[in-house]
Amino acid sequence: MKRKLDRDDVPSAEVTEKKELEEEKKKKEKRKKTTTTTTTTTTSTSAEKEEKNANKKSRTAETKKIANDADNKDDVKSFSDFGLDARLLQAVSEQKLVKPTLVQRKAIPMALDGHDVLCRAKTGSGKTAAYVLPVLAGILKRKTAEPHAAAVSGLILVPTRELADQVFKVVERFAAYCAKDVQVIKLTDKLSDAVQRSLLSTSPDLVISTPARAWHHVKSDLDLSKLSYLVLDEADLLLSYGYDKDLESLSWSLPKGIQTIMMSATLTAEIDSLKSIFYKSGVPTLLDLEEPDAEGAGVTQLVTRCSEDDKFLLAYVIFKLRLVKGKCIIFVADVDRCYRLKLFLEQFGIRSCILNPELPVNSRLHVVDEFNRNVYDIIIASDDKEVLGNEDKAETEERENEEEEEKDKGEEKETGEEERQEKQRSSKKRKNVAAVVNFDLPTTASSYTHRIGRTARAGKAGMALSFVVPAELFGKHKPTMVATAEKDETVLARIVKQQAKKGKEVKPYTFKAEEVDAFRYRMNDGLRAVTKVAVREARTRELRQELLKSEKLKRYFEENPTEMKHVRHDGELRTARQQAHLKHVPDYLLPKEGRTALTEAQIGPVRFRDQKRRPRRGSAKKRKSSSGDPLKTFRRGSKRRS
């Protein structure tokens, strides 16, 4: 049975009103608490933002003060004004370096004061000495304070083995009078891990390496806990060569408070990513240094529009008539083009050597050393892998030009340490180069900057000549066609725009077509002899020769290092059909202005017969004796004696 409700069971109106008022009070109190907490959090976040902004402003002010101090110290007249160690000054004087360059005047005082350095300067402006001297000075100071403490104090990261070898030689020269106090090793030599592990066990003061090799040893036996100096040389190339993962891994293993020095020849998006990785305490102001050229110095940039086969015609005329005096570097698109151009020039008696990325590192270094010692006049280099990835990614290069539209980026190919070392651009300094010829235009404007930086170094004059294939002439001559020439005009427009921002001008190179056409039939004869089979045989033959040299002569050259100078790399490959008459230039082909200027001694005589061939024994008049021939001794009318 259900019970009926009484009056006591039904709540009165007063009770319900009281309950509602109490609930409203509780809700208001909760709202007040939430508002107070939100206000405190907002005030705390705003205060944190204000603190961060203030810290950024203070850092920028500090960096501006540092830059102003560097500007005030621009009156430095000699290296002795930097206050370097006496042993370093003695090495500097031995190198005959009297007055520091603009990069050295700005960067060395900042680095000696312990500040981070971010510098952009052209190739050949003295960037290597600008960071090597402060790092060595800091190591010597630590050695005097703690003579028995062994630790890795400096790490220099470079993109290629060749550049590591060049930096190592510079460090050796500057540390010549303190070699007992400063131990330097490079991890780019082809040594076993056990040997390199034993070298690192002594805790060298300075380590030179590529990012991949450095990270490989950091995981096992390279201790960076007491590192003081980190140098990123050619910073714009480190990421473009595919070292992004290695650099990011290295950044996490570095101790706090180290001094970072970053040097670059161009400004790209890679620099921005590197700044965020390594400048954790604040990005320093950029030292954007463009050293003014002296009178008559600098790079004269020329460009000529021609067809694909006319490239070979102009190269033949320029080098055979010696229109370019001095040493020259020719850049082509790939390795096949290297051998095709070398075989083509051989048809006319023009000797050259190839910087082939397929050859061993020691052979390449020997080629560059011989070129620096004026043994060769022409060197042909390929940098077809200068930008990691496909050509679509290379077309997005002008990242510093923010106005240009971003193009679709191709997927980057994962490459190992061996593939990265095949890149020949900016691998090692070439000394006293009079001219750079871009036989095939590079795919990026930044690559063009690095190429022309090989000439006009140290205030000297130089010339850069580029061949550009117009769009209407692309693909007209299939045997000499190269795929990268399809976008020559777009790349040239970017190059002109970039150079105009620097105040430089790319001038057109004009020539008289009727005078050049006189050599066309000879060019066609030489070009027909250079077939694909000849190029393939030339590549295999040179590799076979290098294998024989490395196996037979490795131990001999270790015992007799002076005999290495007799090894030459500009010999004729002789895989193409030889035509001796092409090596001689008749007088009627020469222009009227040049017939008196060019003599046979300047062009070079052509010997149609091998002078080393042994002469025939005996004289031509001497005949064989006929005493043994019965037919010739028999006499027809002879009488018998009775």
Dihedral, CA of residue 626, residue 631, residue 637 and residue 640, to nearest 10: 90
Q: In this predicted structure, what is the pLDDT of residue 124?
A: 73
CB 615: neighbour CB atoms within 10 A?
5
Regarding predicted confidence, which is higher, 1 or 482? 482
Regarding predicted confidence, which is higher, 216 or 280? 216
Q: What mean pLDDT do residues 177-202 have?
A: 90
Task: Single out the residue of 345, 335, 334, 274 nearest to residue 311, CA to CA.
Answer: 345
Q: Report the range of poorest mean pLDDT among 12-21, 293-302, 453-462, 477-486.
A: 12-21
CA distance 150 to 10: 91
pLDDT tens-place string over residues 320-377: 988 888 899 999 999 999 999 999 999 998 989 998 887 777 778 778 878 888 888 9
pLDDT above 80: residue 133: yes
Task: Single out the residue of 40, 16, 20 nearest to residue 28, CA to CA.
Answer: 20
Would you give the DSSP letter of residue 389? S
pLDDT tens-place string over residues 504-557: 899 999 888 888 888 998 899 989 989 889 889 988 888 777 766 665 556 666
Q: What mean pLDDT do residues 566-589 have?
A: 62
Would you give the DSSP letter of residue 337? H
List the domain boundaries for the chain: 17-58, 76-288, 298-389+421-603
pLDDT above 60: residue 501: yes
Q: In this predicted structure, what is the pLDDT of residue 414?
A: 39
pLDDT above 90 covers what percent of the chain?
31
Q: In this predicted structure, what is the pLDDT of residue 292?
A: 53
Q: In this predicted structure, what is the pLDDT of residue 136?
A: 96
pLDDT above 50: residue 271: yes
Q: In this predicted structure, what is the pLDDT of residue 258?
A: 92
Q: In this predicted structure, what is the pLDDT of residue 545?
A: 75
Question: Do residues 454 and 329 touch, judged by C-beta distance below 8 A?
Answer: yes
Q: In this predicted structure, what is the pLDDT of residue 229?
A: 95
Residue 557, classified by CB atoms within 10 Å of its CB into exposed (0-12), middle (13-18) or buried (19+), is middle
Fold equal for 76-288 and 298-389+421-603: yes
pLDDT tens-place string over residues 417-466: 444 444 433 344 456 788 999 999 999 888 898 889 888 776 678 899 99
CA distance 113 to 87: 19
Q: What mean pLDDT do residues 17-42 have?
A: 60
Regarding predicted confidence, which is higher, 425 or 382? 382
Question: Do residues 299 and 465 touch, judged by C-beta distance below 8 A?
Answer: no
pLDDT above 70: residue 108: yes
Q: Which amino acid, one-letter code, is at 225? A: S
Q: Give the global pTM.
A: 0.59
CATH class, 298-389+421-603 region? alpha beta
Q: Which of 129-138, 395-404, 625-634 has the highest mean pLDDT?
A: 129-138
pLDDT above 70 covers what percent of the chain?
64
Please list the alpha-helical segments (H only) found in 373-444: 391-394, 417-420
Q: What mean pLDDT do residues 152-174 have?
A: 92
Question: Do residues 432 and 525 touch, judged by C-beta distance below 8 A?
Answer: no
Regarding predicted confidence, which is higher, 386 or 289? 289
Task: Single out the residue of 89, 121, 127 nearest to residue 108, CA to CA.
Answer: 127
Regarding predicted confidence, which is higher, 129 or 623? 129
Q: In this predicted structure, what is the pLDDT of residue 150?
A: 87
Q: Report the range of poorest mean pLDDT among 234-238, 295-299, 329-333, 386-390.
A: 386-390
Task: Kindly state the tokens that stand for 552.
Answer: 């037979």
Q: Using pLDDT thresholds of 50, 70 and 90, give the confidence band for residue 28.
A: low
Q: Which of 490-499, 571-580, 596-605, 619-628 has the highest mean pLDDT?
A: 490-499
Would you give the DSSP letter of residue 261? E
Q: What mean pLDDT do residues 226-238 have?
A: 90
Q: Report the range of poorest mean pLDDT among 56-60, 216-220, 461-465, 570-574.
A: 56-60
Q: What mean pLDDT do residues 110-115 have?
A: 92
Q: In this predicted structure, what is the pLDDT of residue 98?
A: 84
Q: In this predicted structure, what is the pLDDT of residue 515?
A: 84
Four-way CATH pick for 76-288: 3.40.50.300, 3.30.465.10, 1.10.10.10, 2.60.120.260: 3.40.50.300
Q: Which of 191-195, 243-247, 354-358, 490-494 has the highest mean pLDDT?
A: 490-494
Question: Do residues 444 and 394 touch, judged by C-beta distance below 8 A?
Answer: yes
Q: What is the mean pLDDT of the chain?
A: 76
Q: In this predicted structure, what is the pLDDT of residue 59?
A: 44
Q: Which of 305-309, 412-416, 460-464, 561-565 has the highest mean pLDDT?
A: 305-309
Q: In this predicted structure, what is the pLDDT of residue 157?
A: 95
